[in-house]
Amino acid sequence: MPNKFIFSPETIIKAYSVGVFPMAQSRDDPELRFYEPAIRGIIPINPPHIPRRLIRFARQSRWLVRFDSAFADVVRHCAEMRADNTWINAEIETLYFALHKMGFGHSVEIWDHDRLIGGLYGLSLGSAFFGESMFSEESNASKMALAFLMAALHKAKFTLLDAQFSSEHLRQFGLIDMPQPAFKQALASALSQPAVMPVHLSQQEILAHLLQLRSVTS
């Protein structure tokens, strides 16, 4: 059962560190609740499983990939794309904007010239990244954002990429179902290993790493 808490950025950080996360029941729901799924959706990143066709697409694409240049816009796009079934209410936006300013919230953005066409956002703690949501206005845009995130996390020696819930869409990236006890162990290990969110890496550096990963992807 979800539990009610007083929410603050510090509370959110503490919640993630013990394996729970906040959600609203709808865009208009004024309340947030913490959730802890019995089965967690985890995307392995050591090594990452990135479809070869997506690596080819990324290599040929003229889209630009950026980190943390439009965090608020990514969050709002995610809320709008899921307007009929979103957990991102106004309080979620406010809290994650604050977490971004504190250095914990991060976004990966896909740009077509000056137009934001896809991306994702989440939270980093230790060597763990907790993916929250992603959006796409062009085919493959959100997939490309996830591929670059996975490659960047691998290069930066992150150990855990939490997708929260299982999704058939994410299974092409190797998503696995992890029972709660195993997730708690993986989380504790990731939190004990410091890592720096690789927002400093250029698109060319990450793409080069993606190409190196071809031998371990399919």
pLDDT tens sequence for the chain (218 residues):
444 556 899 999 999 999 999 988 877 787 888 999 999 999 999 999 999 999 999 999 999 999 999 999 999 999 887 655 678 888 999 999 999 999 999 999 999 999 999 999 999 999 999 999 999 999 999 999 999 999 999 999 999 999 999 888 899 999 999 999 999 999 999 999 999 999 999 999 999 999 888 755 54
- Listed in sequence order, the residues at least 6 apart from 10 whose beta carbon sits closer than 8 Å to its beta carbon are none
DSSP E strands in 27-175: the ranges are: 33-35, 39-42, 64-67, 105-112, 115-125, 128-136, 160-164
Name the amino acid, one letter, at 11.
T
Q: Peptide bond before 47: cis, by omega within 30 degrees of 0?
A: yes
- How far apart CA 70 and CA 65 sit, in angstroms, is 11
Residue 132 token pair: 């929250």
Domains and CATH numbers, the chain: 40-216 (3.40.630.70)
pTM for the full predicted model: 0.92
- Give the number of other CB atoms < 10 A from CB of residue 21: 19
- How far apart CA 98 and CA 94 sit, in angstroms, is 6
- C-alpha distances (whole Å) from 206 to each of 10, 146, 162 are 31, 12, 20
